[in-house]
Structure 1
Amino acid sequence: MPSFEPVRAILRGLDVLRVISEAGPITATDIAKQVMLPQPSVIRVLETLISAGYVYRIEGSVTYGVTARTLALSRGFNATSRLVQLATPLIEALRSEIGWPSNLATFDQGAMTIAYTNRSAHGMSIPGRLGARLPVFATGVGIVYLAHLSGDALTAAFAQTKAAVSRWDTNPEILASLDERLEAARRNGYAFAEEAYLDELYHSQIWAVAVPIIVDGKVIAALSSLVLRSAGSRNRILGQILPPLRRTSKAISESLAADAGAPESPPKRTRRG
């Protein structure tokens, strides 16, 4: 909760700027209807935004649009950083529920990059490093990510992965089963990391299962949980951890979608000048 009451003038200005950005070119009358402010107040806000260089009035009309300067407002935004910020408490809650650590991974230039991990923080002796670049075709996070791409996005991801020339992403045995694994991931909604890859890296200590994180129909990341093979039957443990893993993925998706939407409305204003 904020320490102070919001500055209403700033909220009004942001509301007006958002409406012009989303619906412009747009008239002051229509802006006033959408932000629930009297038109004279909207005109004052518009004149301020024009003076600041964020809005312009289209010549010969009564409509307004945003200028290129509004692009500068998002330059400091880092999508992965925001993803991690929103996902971290949810992933930590998942760890408390299932007893196993997780990796959050995003696709970056032909590799799956670990954006967040709580392996070392919770005592798993297997190394896990923030920023580590994992192969795409050999990992569960890579397979579920690819499986939920389509069209040009899938073609581009394949091209970037092949250009990265990872030994695991060019392994003939892994490539031979790739289509089958992608189809299984689409059908089941989850994917396992290749055992040969895990055996070489982790000396047969773990297995891993991953699910996609999808926002507005677009896959933006993948979430995996890692389990010691000595813990028991994979099918039994999968039945225990997969539902919470999916719930966490859904919660992250919903949090990101809400974060990208319109800000929470301030208390309703009366229509006074």
Structure 2
Amino acid sequence: MNAMFPVEDCLTPSNGAAVVGDGAHSYAPVESVLRALEVLKHLNMLRVATVTELHKITGIAKPTVVRMLETLITAGYVTRDKAFGGYRITANVQNLSDGYFGAPMVIEAAHPYALELTQRIKWGVGVGMLEGQFMRLQFTTARYSPWAMPMTHLRMRLDLFTSAMGRAYLAFCPDYEREALIDAQLVRITPSKRAESRRQIGRVIDDIRNQGYARKVRSREHSSTETISVAIRNDGLVLGCLALGYFRNAVPESEVAQRLAEPLQVTAHAIEAAIAENYGNMTRTPMGQNRN
């Protein structure tokens, strides 16, 4: 189903240091702790990073960066990623924020399955998560695919109503969350068009559910490529979406379901099982916020 959703495109203070009445810190900050947190922050943003990359971003000397990473590994917050040639955070960073819901645990669960799928079918896959009114690409195996696909850089923002990931999210998230997301978009168009827009969105969502996966809306800019996506779910919620990109002339339309969509769905189910086994039911409210 390639019809575009008929909506217009749209693109607390810390508790660490005690403070006195005038706002000054009662103790001088520990510089080594601040620098270690700086390294951890940038590693979280980059998902996978080398010592050189962290050195360039933070300005911290390489030997110091190495010592900090080794310390964070000992603490369980960082691990070496031999497949990607660097370091990445672990799901243990969740312990730093009570009730925090974010990308690390989903990426950690998806990592081996997504990589195995790319090695098997050769096409790059990615994991995206809801961020406000958009999807954000949080992980990709594009570098392991022999084919260079457009729009595969980490942290890229994907439209909720035209991207495959966004449409998969809308189709499989809970009704109350979908309504909130749609309402936030429909407010941008004239009131007289909202009722018909909502009906058309409903028809597209029904098609996606029946098919079991979503496709992106075709555009002239990327007419030679296609993207399909499925939801990663846990306890009735969509944690993120798994997407696969390919060239249209490389896979006959009649073979897409069997060759690509079915393996993608199997991989998503494996990720869901890994999340359930390792973390149980992950709770959050709509729009990616905490329930607590």
For this structure pair, what is the TM-score category when the shorter chain's length is used for normalisation?
A: 0.5 to 0.7
Are residue 156 (structure 1) and residue 180 (structure 2) matched?
Answer: yes
Aligned equivalent of 1:231? 250
The aligned length equals 182
Return the letter of the residue paired with 2:208: A
Instruction: Report which of the two structures shows the higher radius of gyration computed on alpha carbons.
Output: 1
Counterpart of 2:274 in structure 1 is 255
1:1-273 correspondence runs (5 A)? 74-75=97-98, 79-122=102-145, 123-161=147-185, 177-196=200-219, 199-200=220-221, 202=222, 204-261=223-280
Q: Which runs of 4+ in 1 moved over 3 A?
A: 71-78, 159-163, 173-177
What is the alpha-carbon distance in structure 2 between the residues aligned to residue 72 and residue 223 of structure 1? 25
Instruction: Give the Å deviation of 1:87.
Output: 0.6
1-structure distance, mates of 2:237, 2:226: 27
Deviation at 1:225, TM superposition (A): 0.8
Q: Distance in 1 between matches of 2:226 and 2:200?
A: 18
Is the CA contact 1:185–1:191 (under 8 Å) kept in the aligned structure 2?
Answer: yes
Residues 173-200 of structure 1: per-residue CA shift (max 9 Å, x gap): 998843221111122221111112xx32
The amino acid that maps onto 1:194 is V
Rounded to whole Å, the distance in 1 between the matches of 2:155 and 2:198 is 25
* RMSD over aligned Cα atoms: 2.9
The alpha-carbon distance between structure 1 residues 121 and 96, as it changes in their structure 2 partners (threshold 3 A), is closer
Cα offset for 1:140? 1.6
Distance 1:242 1:160, change over 3 A: same
1:126 to partner: Cα distance: 2.1
**Runs of at least 5 residues in structure 1 that lack an aligned partner in the other structure:** 1-70, 263-273
State the distance in 2 between where 1:114 and 1:174 align. 27
Distance 1:90 1:261 in 2: 18
1: CA distance, partners of 2:256 / 2:175: 35
1:107-143 CA deviation, whole Å, 9 max, x = no partner? 1100011011122442414231111111111112111
Q: Which has the higher helix share?
A: 1
CA distance in 2, matches of 1:140, 1:78: 23
Give the % identical residues: 23
Larger RCO, structures 1/2 (Cα 8 Å, 6+ apart): 2
**Aligned mates of 1:72, 1:194 — CA distance in 2:** 39
What CA distance in whole angstroms lies between the structure 1 residues aligned with 2:248 and 2:138?
24
